[in-house]
Amino acid sequence: MKKILIVGGGISGLATAWLLRSKAEAAGEELHITLLEKDDKPGGKIRSIKAEGYTCEWGPNGFLDSKPQTLNLCRSIGIESSLHRSNDNARKRFIYSGGELHQLPDGAPAFLKSRLISLPGKLRLALEPTPFISASPADVDETLADFGRRRLGSEALDKLIAPMVSGIFAGDPETMSLISCFPRIAELEREYGGLIRAMIMLAKKKKRDIAEGKVVSSAAGPGGVLTSFRDGIQFLSDALTSSLGEIVNSSVTVNSITAQKDDTYLVTSENGGIYEADVLIMATPAYATAKILSGLDYKISGVLEQIPYASMTVVCFGYSRNQINSSLDGFGYLIPKKEGRNTLGTLWDSSMFENRAAEGKVLLRSMMGGACFPDYIKLSDDEVTTRVEEDLRMTMGIDSAPEFVRIFRHPQAIPQYTVGHGSRLDKLEKQLKENRGLILTGNSYRGIGLNDCVAAAERAADEALKFLIDSTK
């Protein structure tokens, strides 16, 4: 029986194990799958913490239902009925600028009325479809900032693109790669010659599809509806762990991997455990994978070490609803860097998912740090609390202290797809061909969201199964 070893028990490793087992059973293949996780509880950064009537997400708070990967996974493990979609409040998103919160416009009329972008900024945006702005060549790895200035103007970069990049990647648009972070945007520019022209053409196509009775994706929110579970997103990793049973081995730290003469891998752990594998799947973050593989292939480790990570401090504040005078009808807000605030933004968690706080309570979740403010991870708890309170006072007029505080620190939170990321992936792919049966998966490579991780897990499972079938022919 062929042996598969998966290192890393976050969502990527757990999903890979589940999908691989399911695909092997469907193909009539018998496999011995083992997953090793260094922490005492699998799940990685997926963790839902319940305390004093609040449910705080340690890391991600859900996934968008516009893509099928995570939905299909939930369906396959039998937890689809437990899915909990955010309410309509999540459709409304805000940007804090010039001392006030501006709702992001959802159409041309709303955009024209919005005070978020000045008249000169709107006029510059109106030039976007003109032939005077040429598309970037396909072989140029352009930063998001350069793309934003070229296509939309500096004001749109500062007030729209930069906050979006910090909200999704905790990244700096001056260093992030457009084609690696948002490949679809680069594709639309090349295909249609501009973003506004692309939006118009795609809207016409959608109308035709509806008229022809075809199924089209919902327009609600940016790419779908934020989806989680009533008990928090940890419900997903717990369900996977439970289903996988003895496959999952917690509190096992891998310290070395060597290749054997028969093209198998020998893996040793800190507690003296020894594991053999015909296929080795690394589902750990790039920096951890680099360290583990250093004795196996220094070239792979060298490339992985070039993938930077941004730190993040997540701050949950709980209030009584009567402590907050402002409306909480929305997803939350992001803050442009040029506003000079302490936080990247704040999510109104209990407005999106009503069960995140008890009746009459409010849960706010603020983000600090990211690539633009790397030293914030070093701030004391008191300093973090003071700075978040100051920002909430400025943005939402909250003058009273929270009744509940939780601070979660992630020194290496989110991989940064900086310029050159695509070239690094090409080097990895070339080097992996010299290590038969070695597979890398996770959010360090081609997408950081939950859907991306599950999609990568499916690719890893398919690659592993194909390798094993081909090797027996």
The model's confidence at residue 218, banded by pLDDT at 50, 70 and 90, is very low
* pLDDT for residue 220: 32
d(CA 321, CA 437): 55
pTM over 0.85: yes
* pLDDT for residue 210: 67
What are the tens digits of pLDDT across the range 144-196? 999 999 999 999 999 999 999 999 999 999 999 999 999 999 998 988 888 88
* Tokens of residue 244, six digits: 């996988």
Does the pLDDT value for residue 355 go beyond 50?
Answer: yes
Same domain for 247 and 383? no
- Domain membership of residue 60 as a residue range: 48-89+309-415
Query: Could you tell me if residue 108 is inside a domain?
Result: no
Query: Could you tell me if residue 104 is inside a domain?
Result: no
Query: Could you tell me if residue 216 is inside a domain?
Result: no
* pLDDT for residue 307: 98
Q: Which of 129, 139, 121, 131 is nearest to 186 (CA)?
A: 139
Q: Hey, how many other C-beta atoms are within 10 angstroms of the C-beta on 231?
A: 14
CA atoms within 13 A on the CB side of 436: 11
Same domain for 350 and 423? no
Q: Which of 105, 96, 74 is nearest to 326 (CA)?
A: 96
Q: Hey, how many other C-beta atoms are within 10 angstroms of the C-beta on 378?
A: 12
Give mean pLDDT, residues 210-227.
59
Same domain for 195 and 335? no
- Bridge partners, residue 254, by sequence: 269
Angle between helices 11-27 and 450-471 (to 10 degrees): 40
Q: Which of 9, 452, 45 is nearest to 240 (CA)?
A: 9
With pLDDT > 70 as the criterion, what percentage of the chain qualifies? 97
d(CA 332, CA 353): 12
Does the pLDDT value for residue 222 go beyond 80?
Answer: no
Q: Which of 426, 432, 439, 434 is nearest to 468 (CA)?
A: 439
Same domain for 411 and 421? no
- Bridge partners, residue 406, by sequence: 316
Give mean pLDDT, residues 58-70.
94
Query: Could you tell me if residue 220 is inside a domain?
Result: no
Element housing 423 (H / E) = helix 421-432
The model's confidence at residue 221, banded by pLDDT at 50, 70 and 90, is very low
Same domain for 240 and 364? no
Same domain for 253 and 371? no
d(CA 151, CA 174): 15
* Tokens of residue 325, six digits: 């005078």
The model's confidence at residue 199, banded by pLDDT at 50, 70 and 90, is confident
Give mean pLDDT, residues 238-246.
98
Give mean pLDDT, residues 361-375.
97
* pLDDT for residue 241: 98
Query: Could you tell me if residue 222 is inside a domain?
Result: no
Instruction: Indicate which CATH number applies to the domain containing 123.
Output: 1.10.3110.10
Domains held by the chain: number: 3
* pLDDT for residue 190: 87
Same domain for 426 and 406? no
Same domain for 392 and 467? no
d(CA 203, CA 193): 16
Strands 361-369 and 279-282: unpaired
Answer with the one of 415, 443, 463 that is the final residue of a domain.
415
d(CA 450, CA 68): 11
Instruction: Indicate which CATH number applies to the domain containing 33.
Output: 3.50.50.60
- Bridge partners, residue 143, by sequence: 177
* pLDDT for residue 27: 92
Same domain for 319 and 291? no
Cα-based distances in Å from 360 to 55, 319, 350, 351: 14, 9, 10, 12
The model's confidence at residue 362, banded by pLDDT at 50, 70 and 90, is very high
Query: Could you tell me if residue 149 is inside a domain?
Result: yes
Greatest Cα pair distance in the chain:
70
Strand blocks (E) in 37-99 = 48-51, 54-57, 63-64, 83-85, 93-97
* pLDDT for residue 254: 97
Q: Which of 52, 48, 73 is nearest to 61 (CA)?
A: 48
d(CA 158, CA 438): 42
Same domain for 24 and 34? yes
Give mean pLDDT, residues 330-349.
96
Same domain for 206 and 303? no
Query: Could you tell me if residue 248 is inside a domain?
Result: yes
Same domain for 264 and 334? no
Residue with tokens 């024209």: 112
The model's confidence at residue 224, banded by pLDDT at 50, 70 and 90, is confident
Instruction: Indicate which CATH number applies to the domain containing 60.
Output: 3.90.660.20
* Tokens of residue 153, six digits: 């103007």
Q: Residue 462, SS3?
A: helix
Query: Could you tell me if residue 106 is inside a domain?
Result: no
Higher pLDDT, 8 or 105: 8
